[in-house]
Amino acid sequence: MEFSHEVKESYAEVKANGRLNMVSAPKLREFVTDVIAAGSNRIVVNLENTAFMDSSGLGALIGCLKAARQAGGDLRIAAVQPQVKMVLQLTSMDKVLTSYTSADEAFSND
Amino acid sequence: MVSPTESRRAVVIEDDPDIRGLLVRVLVKQGFDVTQAGAGLPGVEEVRRVKPDLVTLDLNLPDLDGLEVCKLLREFSDAFIVMLTARADELDKLTGLDNGADEYLSKPFSPRELQSRINALFRRRPSPAADSAARSDLERATEVQQSLLPQEDIQVQGYDVAGVFRPSRNVGGDFYDWYRTPEGLHLTFADAMGKGMGAALIAATVRAVMRSTGLRHDLDTAFASASKAIAEDLDSSNSFVTLFHARLDADSGTVAYVDAGHGLALHVQSTGTVHRLPSGGPPVGAWAGSEWPQSVMELAPGDSLVVVSDGVLDVFESVEDFTDAVLQAAHNQESAQSASTAILALAPAETAEDDVTVVVVRRLPQEVAA
């Protein structure tokens, strides 16, 4: 899995490309924590190129959300693909991890 | 020097049979147990199966690009990967990129050079002692997980109850538990996040806590206190557990249940329809302040309650495909055991990466029960 990030006007976009599983989950956590530590607390994780996520991946997203909230910000997800959406719905985590169709939209109303 | 007690495994992925044979010989001479594959995808499966310490990977394979194979391997394996290419001009380009490979060699290669490169790689590898400690950790985790499953069948008048469990190579955090109550039975089905000893230990805690709640008469109160205890335990480990807990009243067929983020319990009706019981809230330990309202379902004679782990779901494109397949597998089965086995078979053992667990509680048709 590959990560990249870009600091935009009102948020930082993190792109996670590949499978979000037990191997890559800790790396995502580390990557997002670094972005938060560098001063961005409004994070959008763009999941456009994440076709698969397991429970460890979900755990990493939850951990990142907690970290962003602790820093006084928020974390939102964008461009969620079918399998990831399914995991979020089954676990009822779609009510906690808010998803948006695109990264631009995620923080457009606040 | 390679000590004779040290058992290291290698997989050779190479389409040219002559070069493959040479590579195998060189590696065997270096003390490796070697298996081989002639193309990319079989190679990936072989690595998944064997869990080698070393992989040699040809860049030009008939089915997949070697770089693609390397990427796939890195999803689940931390073996050393030595990439071989026939084109010397590609070598500079390759080494400049972070492809996930540890070493590059151009063909034709000298066996001695290959040997010395491999030795250099393994000098960086943690000691064999650390390796065997990790292996026995996996064995211990397997033992913990096996010990969580019910050791005996359960007899409830008018019902047929069965469970099956198939562990993956990487021990996961699946378990199920059941026990008799004066009214019928209590069933717990859980999946702790992640794999290995950590997940198995969390599963053990969850089982113990859920057993202790059996004494409480009210399900809401019981689950609220249990989830609080579990969440406190999970807090430090950044983990969570999906949990389905049900209480059956045998006479009426009423099942009161709480679903915390599991979402894979199905009501399979004798009429040939299936209804998935949606989860009532997030997994336990995932999000502070969560609440899980109890729900109720009625098992009519001939109906089944089927609870499945996500290891089965992973095989299907959508939840709808999954529920349909479970219905097809479970419908018209003679017993809860045969239904469980049929559902288990939906996730072929060769490709399943996760544990697979199935529990079936079937209310016998009236003519059989009488």
| Cα separation, B188 vs B150, whole angstroms | 11
pLDDT, residue B219, reads 93
| B76-100 average pLDDT score | 76
Residue with tokens 């030009």: B60
Q: What are B309-361's pLDDT values in tens digits?
A: 988 888 888 899 999 999 999 988 999 999 999 999 998 876 666 788 999 99
Q: Are residues B146 and B255 in the same domain?
A: yes
Which B residues in the span 157-196 are in contact with A, Cβ-Cβ below 8 Å? 170, 191, 193-195
Cis status, amide bond into B108, omega within 30 of 0: yes
Considering the domain architecture, whether residues B202 and B273 belong to the same structural domain is answered as yes
**Of B305 and B130, more confident:** B305
* Mean per-residue pLDDT, B289-315: 93
CA A107 to chain CA mean position, Å: 13
Structure tokens at B128: 């064999």
* Token representation of residue B205: 């805690």
The whole-angstrom separation of Cα B327 and Cα B245 is: 21
ipTM of the complex as predicted: 0.89
The yes-or-no verdict on residue B138 having pLDDT over 80 is no
Cα of B278 to nearest chain A Cα, Å = 7
Does A55 contact B242 at a Cβ distance shorter than 8 Å?
yes
Helix (H, G, I), strand (E, B) or coil at B99: coil
- In this complex, the residue of A18, A86, A92 whose CB is nearest that of residue B282 is A92
CATH number of the domain where residue B293 is located:
3.60.40.10
Mind listing the pLDDT tens digit for each residue in B146-161?
A: 888 898 889 999 999 9
Place of tokens 């230990």: B201
Mean pLDDT over residues B109-123, rounded? 83
SS3 B234: helix
Return mean pLDDT, chain B: 86
Indicate if B257 and B282 belong to the same structural domain.
yes
Q: Could you tell me if residue B133 is inside a domain?
A: no
Residue B206: CB atoms within 10 Å: 28
Query: What is the C-alpha separation between B70 and B103, in angstroms, rounded?
Result: 12
In terms of pLDDT, which residue wins out, B131 or B67? B67
pLDDT at B46: 93
B212 and B297 both lie in a single domain: yes
Low-confidence ranges of chain A (pLDDT < 50): none
* Whether A62 contacts chain B with CB within 8 A: yes
Nearest partner of B61 among B82, B41, B76, judged by Cα: B41
On whether residue B337 sits in a domain, the answer given is yes
Which positions in chain B touch A58 (Cβ < 8 Å)? 193, 286
User: CA nearest A20 in B: which residue?
Assistant: B75
Q: Are B44 and B20 in contact (CB under 8 A)?
A: no
H helix or E strand, kind and range, residue B145: helix B128-147
Q: Residue A56's closest chain B neighbor by CA?
A: B194
Q: Would B131 be classed as within a structural domain?
A: no
Residues B336 and B242 in one domain: yes
- Band the pLDDT of B191: cuts 50, 70, 90: very high
CATH number of B104's domain: 3.40.50.2300
Interval B295-313 mean pLDDT:
94
CA distance B331 to A85: 28
* B210-241 per-position pLDDT tens digit: 998 887 889 999 999 999 989 888 876 778 99
Crossing angle of helices A55-70 and A25-37, in 10° steps, is: 10
The residue-averaged pLDDT of B2-28 equals 80
Residue B3 has pLDDT above 60, yes or no: no
Which ranges constitute the DSSP H helices of chain B?
Answer: 17-29, 40-50, 66-74, 88-95, 111-123, 128-147, 196-212, 219-235, 310-313, 319-330, 336-344, 366-369
CA–CA dist B134, B25 (Å, integer) = 28
Does residue B292 share a domain with residue B214? Answer: yes
Residue B2: pLDDT band (50, 70, 90) is very low
Query: Is position B223 within any domain?
Result: yes
The parent domain of residue B87 ranges over: 4-125
Question: Do B182 and B86 reside in the same domain of the chain?
Answer: no
Q: Classify strands B103-106 and B80-85 as parallel, antiparallel or unpaired.
A: parallel
B155 & B300 share domain: yes
> Does B88 reside within a domain?
yes
Please tell me the pTM assigned to this model: 0.71
Q: Which two tokens stand for residue A13?
A: 């976009």
**Domain termination site, one of B61, B94, B125:** B125
How remote is the C-alpha of B208 from its chain's centroid? 22
Q: Which of B99, B125, B151 is the last residue of a domain?
A: B125
Q: Residues 317-346, chain B: which have Cβ within 8 Å of A?
A: 317-319
**What CA–CA distance (Å, rounded) separates B114 from B146?**
43
Q: Which of residues 4-43 of A touch B (CB under 8 A)?
A: 18-19, 21-24
B132 in any annotated domain: no
Q: Give contacts of B318 with chain A, Cβ < 8 Å.
A: 82, 86
Of B66, B101, B125, the residue at which a domain comes to its end is: B125
Are B119 and B170 part of one and the same domain?
A: no
What is the pLDDT at residue B5?
A: 44
What are the tens digits of pLDDT across the range A55-76? 889 999 999 999 999 999 999 9
Which DSSP letter does residue A67 get? H
Whether residue B162 lies inside any domain: the answer is yes
Mean pLDDT of B29-44: 91
Smallest Cβ distance to B242: which of A21, A56, A91? A91
Q: Does residue B119 sit in the same domain as residue B173?
A: no
* Total domains present in chain B: 2
Give a yes or no: residue B200 inside a domain: yes
Q: Does one domain contain both B95 and B142? A: no
Q: Are B248 and B327 members of one domain?
A: yes
> Residues B369, B301: contact at Cβ < 8 Å?
yes
